[in-house]
Amino acid sequence: MTTNIFTEIFLPVTLAIITLGIGLSISVQDIRNIFIQPRNISVGLFSQLVLLPVIAFAIAVITGLQAELAVGLVLISICPGGATSNLVNFMIRGNVALSLSITVVNGLITVFTIPLIAMLALEIFMHQDARIHLSFNDSVGQIFMLTVLPATIGILIRRYRTETAKKLENPLRYILPILLFLVFGGVLFLERGDGEIDLPMFLHILPYTLALNVLAYISGFYVPRWFGLSKRNQFTIAVEVGLQNSTLAIFVATRLLDNYTIALVSVVYGS
């Protein structure tokens, strides 16, 4: 009961508060710039939706990774970023409006791409014909409540209470990471008995997740550079591509695929 209250109420409320705090740093002009310069979000989405899964498939094939772990590596690569990537961009003074926009659009698109690419990975590596379904309505509702609504409130506060928003911006750079650390720490503490992984398996999987992570950051930085994006937007996209939603990947592996071995990659990645 305690775990359910924490993960189903306290966690989403905290994530919404964090997104609201991030929204305080975004001006209306920042949002306009997303539409004025669509190349930025297009390159970001391409890097995350296309390039990252290709990297994951390549690592799995080239290294001859065990079939279930190969599927797990692909699975983590096709899950969108979230509050963590938005918060990191906020802390490093990246383009937060771009970061949030990529998160929202990517979250909607991956409702369709996660099942398709995950089923492809299952067929290629495990020769299994599985059917995966993610609820579009649930995903849209979650994105709206945890990202769009709180970010909009933050943007409106900055619009109509600009001085207040500016005064809060610097303290929030310290407060929000602590808040995120505490809430995720609480989740790990409450669920510490579930899904344990032994050290040898952790060390076996770690090089593959590190390779994916490093290549994600490198490609997330240099691909935007090839398209002529600014240094700030390069860093922003690198963070978005480099930080994936391991919680969603674990959910898909354990609840929809009923395969904990596949989930191990996401457990290591999220550690």
- Which CATH number goes with the domain that contains 220? 1.20.1530.20
Residue in 121, 144, 145, 147 with CA at minimum distance from that of residue 132: 121
Q: Mean per-residue pLDDT for 223-247?
A: 93
Average pLDDT, integer, range 213-238:
96
pLDDT at 188 over 70: no
Mean pLDDT, the chain, rounded, equals 85
* Residues of the domain holding 241: 2-270
Give the mean pLDDT of 2-21: 73
pTM of the model as a whole: 0.85
Please measure the distance between the N-terminal and C-terminal CA atoms of the chain and give it in whole angstroms. Answer: 25
Contacts of 213 (CB under 8 A, 6+ apart): 242, 269
Nearest Cα to 72, choosing from 195, 227, 228? 195
Nearest to 108 by CA among 143, 156, 145, 148: 143
The total domain count for the chain is 1
Model confidence at 193: pLDDT above 80: no
Residues in the chain: 271
In the predicted structure, residue 23 carries a pLDDT above the cut 70: yes
Average pLDDT value for residue range 61-80 = 94
- Please compute the mean of the pLDDT values over residues 132-161 and round it to a whole number: 82
What's the pLDDT band for 127 if we cut at 50, 70, 90? confident
The secondary structure of residue 140, as a DSSP letter, is H
In this predicted model, which residue has the larger pLDDT, 196 or 173?
173
Amino acid at 257: L
Most confident of 34-38, 162-166, 190-194, 227-231: 227-231
Query: What is the predicted pLDDT for the residue at 151?
Result: 87
> Is the dihedral angle over the CA atoms 242, 32, 145, 252 positive or is it negative?
negative
Burial class (CB in 10 A: 0-12, 13-18, 19+), 29: exposed
